[in-house]
Each structure stands twice: as C-alpha cells, then as structure tokens.
Amino acid sequence: MQIYIPYYSRGYHVQQADESAKRVGGHWLWCGMFYGPTAYTTEAAAYQYINKQYNDAKKAEYKPEGGTER
C-alpha cells in the first residue's frame, strides 16, 4: 500500500512512500528523511491538506495498525 505525506521544503510537495514509513517523534520517517506529521491513503487527500481543506483530508488519513509510534 502506498501512502502520501505532505511536507514543505521551498514549496509544498507530496512524498509517496510505502508502509515501511515509520512515525517517529510526531513526524514520518522514510528513507532517512523526516516529513510532515500526517500521512494519507490518497494523493488527493494530501493535496487537500496542503490546500487547507482539513476536514476533507482527514477522511483519508493513514493510521497504521499496530502503532508504529515511538
């Protein structure tokens, strides 16, 4: 399953990752890089978050099973 993580670095972007991404210290860690605090199951929802449509984006928020929070 692919997840989409919105982040800001000289502009807003969406990082596509797989389920191996981990939640560390309130942010997502994937391939040695830290990204934003939220991840989504669809790319459209990640862009909704960027466009401040938080209520619509929350419907597709990714919440891993088993709790990968450290």
pLDDT digits (tens, 9 = 90+) for 17-48: 998 899 998 899 999 999 989 999 999 999 99
Q: Dig out the tokens for 32 from the structure.
A: 């040695």
Q: State the pTM of this model.
A: 0.84
The answer to whether residue 66 sits within a structural domain is: no
Question: Which value, to the nearest 10 degrees, does the dihedral of the CA atoms of residues 42, 33, 50, 13 take?
Answer: -90
The answer to whether residue 43 sits within a structural domain is: yes
Residues 39 and 27 sit within 8 Å (Cβ to Cβ) = no
The answer to whether residue 63 sits within a structural domain is: no
Residues 27 and 21 sit within 8 Å (Cβ to Cβ) = no
The answer to whether residue 68 sits within a structural domain is: no
